[in-house]
Amino acid sequence: MSILSGKKVLLGVTGGIAAYKTPLIVRLLIKQGAEVKVVMTPSATDFVTPLTLSTLSQNPVVSTFTAEGEGDHPNWNNHVELALWADLMLIAPATSNTISSMVNARCNNLLLACYLSAQCPVYIAPAMDLDMYVHPANQKNMTQLERFGHVIFPAQEGFLASGLEGKGRMMEPEAIVTALAQSLAEKAPLYGKTVLITAGPTFEAIDPVRFIGNHSSGKMGFALAEEAAKLGAKVVLVSGPTALKAINPTIKLVAVISAQEMFTAVFKHYDTVDIAIAAAAVADFTPTNPVDQKIKKKSGLLEINLKPTLDILAEMGKQKKAQFLLGFALETQNELENAMAKCQKKNADAIVLNSLNDQDAGFGGDKNKITFIRKNGTTTAFELKTKTEVAADIFAQIIASI
Ligand code: CTP
């Protein structure tokens, strides 16, 4: 899944010949899952039709402060609403005239009104003739826009509409969309970090067809993995048997069955990760001697000898260097006290306490009610929420702690 997926992009098109390439920008953004609305300057409509852009963006295209309404009353195109709708604004192509107006807060068209109202990151792809591009006035204006915190996608070398050759062409649509995605990724809070998550149950074989397992669905661990990926992290998800699939294709899913396999998979990655989360419901015991052949039904009692499994979280605690280590705890009595003791004993940085006091929360279900407990003893309790929302709360706590 692209980082642009679900992002609301306001594309501002100004009146330069490169406007003929903007339908391709819209297509590429839509292909990456973005929602696109287009605002044009009136002169941009001479270069590319609003119909083309509205068809491709599947949204109305606006270029004037008012539009034809019912009877004698025109409709007002609300620039503030449009600007605040956007997660990001891309102005491509940006002409010398528009760039100068942006620097000077001129507001003589709807696009500029949207720009001045926008609270989101702004990206600008200038396009103009080569001498205009290098003119000190334009260079000064572009530097000023960068000082405002905007990102300039610099013009490229090549043939220009004037017949001259040089720097001034708008960056190609593919390159603009790639640069946009890269810039968003770099702004993501977990960009450059690797997160390791254990999820689901483990199955401990008794014989080739029977096992000791538990009812963990893996939903909490998978929700954490999706959230980490959304926040820009590289994610390794080591999961026991579940029916779930990772949605974000950047998540590396390592499927395991037993506690021993989960242990081995975790320690292949643990050294190099920044954050490790033990959300798996690892079996505490495993049969001492699993047999190769199916055990036949016999009269009398069958005894299965069990031995403890390796504690993956405790081992991560022992080997901890710079990682932020988070465990989970499910307690039925003295919840806070026991969870805190677990945090200390396993050398975790924090523990998420799952409450069993709400019948909608916990194993198998879609909701969870948690308390985030830090190793210094401070706690934050949350309401009953969906596991996706809980995952967002947990990462907000982790990000605040690292
Ligand atoms: N855990 C683990 N490996 C195990 C057992 C547990 O990594 N073999 C992790 C779980 O993923 C969870 C935490 O340890 O993050 C706490 O698990 P829990 O079952 O609540 O605690 P236990 O240590 O098993 O203790 P008890 O069951 O006695 O409360």
Q: Where are the domains of the chain?
A: 8-187, 194-401
- Residue 311's SS3 state is coil
Q: Is 309 in the pocket of ligand 1 (CB under 6 A)?
A: yes
pLDDT for the residue 154: 97
Q: Is 334 a catalytic residue?
A: no
Q: How many CB atoms lie within 10 A of CB 72?
A: 5
pLDDT for the residue 76: 83
> What does the mean pLDDT of the chain come to?
94
For ligand 1, atom 18, name the residue with the nearest CA. Answer: 329
pLDDT for the residue 222: 98
pLDDT for the residue 75: 82
pLDDT for the residue 78: 84
Q: Is 313 in the pocket of ligand 1 (CB under 6 A)?
A: yes
Q: Which atom of ligand 1 is nearest to the CA of 330?
A: 20
Q: What is the pLDDT of residues 1-28, one digit of tens each?
A: 788 999 999 999 999 999 999 999 999 9
Q: Is 278 in the pocket of ligand 1 (CB under 6 A)?
A: yes
Mean pLDDT of 149-162: 93
Q: What is the pLDDT of residues 76-102, one digit of tens each?
A: 888 889 999 999 999 999 999 999 999
Q: How many CB atoms lie within 10 A of CB 334?
A: 10
- Cβ burial of 342 (10 Å; 0-12, 13-18, 19+) is buried
CA 341 to chain centre: 33
Q: What is the pLDDT of residues 176-216, one digit of tens each?
A: 999 999 999 898 999 999 999 999 999 999 999 999 999 99
Q: Are strands 285-287 and 306-308 parallel, antiparallel or unpaired?
A: antiparallel
Strand partners, 326: 277, 350
pLDDT for the residue 360: 66
Q: Is the pLDDT of residue 244 over 80?
A: yes
Q: Is 312 in the pocket of ligand 1 (CB under 6 A)?
A: yes
Q: How many CB atoms lie within 10 A of CB 2?
A: 18
Q: How remote is the CA of residue 393 from the centroid of ligand 1, in Å?
A: 21
Q: Is the pLDDT of residue 362 over 80?
A: no
Q: Is 263 in the pocket of ligand 1 (CB under 6 A)?
A: no
Mean pLDDT of 122-150: 97
- Domains 8-187 and 194-401 fall in the same CATH topology: yes
pLDDT for the residue 251: 96
Q: What is the pLDDT of residues 295-351, one digit of tens each?
A: 988 767 788 999 999 999 999 999 999 999 999 998 888 999 999 999 999 999 999
Interhelix angle 387-401/219-230, rounded to 10 degrees, is: 50
Helix (H) or strand (E) holding 255: strand 251-255
**CATH number for region 8-187:** 3.40.50.1950
Q: In the numeric block, which tokens belong to residue 345?
A: 């004993």
Helix (H) or strand (E) holding 81: helix 79-85
Q: Is the pLDDT of residue 361 over 70?
A: no
Best of 284, 307, 343, 370 for a ligand 1 pocket test (most atoms within 8 Å of beta carbon): 284
Mean pLDDT of 44-59: 98
pLDDT for the residue 364: 67
Q: How many CB atoms lie within 10 A of CB 223?
A: 24
Residue 361 DSSP one-character state = B
The percent of residues in the chain predicted with pLDDT above 90, rounded, is 85
CA 13 to chain centre: 27
Q: How remote is the CA of residue 282 from the centroid of ligand 1, in Å?
A: 7
Domain spanning 194-401: CATH superfamily: CoaB-like (3.40.50.10300)
Best of 318, 331, 342 for a ligand 1 pocket test (most atoms within 8 Å of beta carbon): 342
Q: How far apart are the C-alpha atoms of 172 and 24, rounded to whole Å?
A: 9
Catalytic residue among 59, 78, 97, 214: 214
Q: Is 199 in the pocket of ligand 1 (CB under 6 A)?
A: no
190 near 225, Cβ under 8 Å? no
Q: Is 329 in the pocket of ligand 1 (CB under 6 A)?
A: yes
Q: What is the pLDDT of residues 251-264, one digit of tens each?
A: 999 999 999 999 99
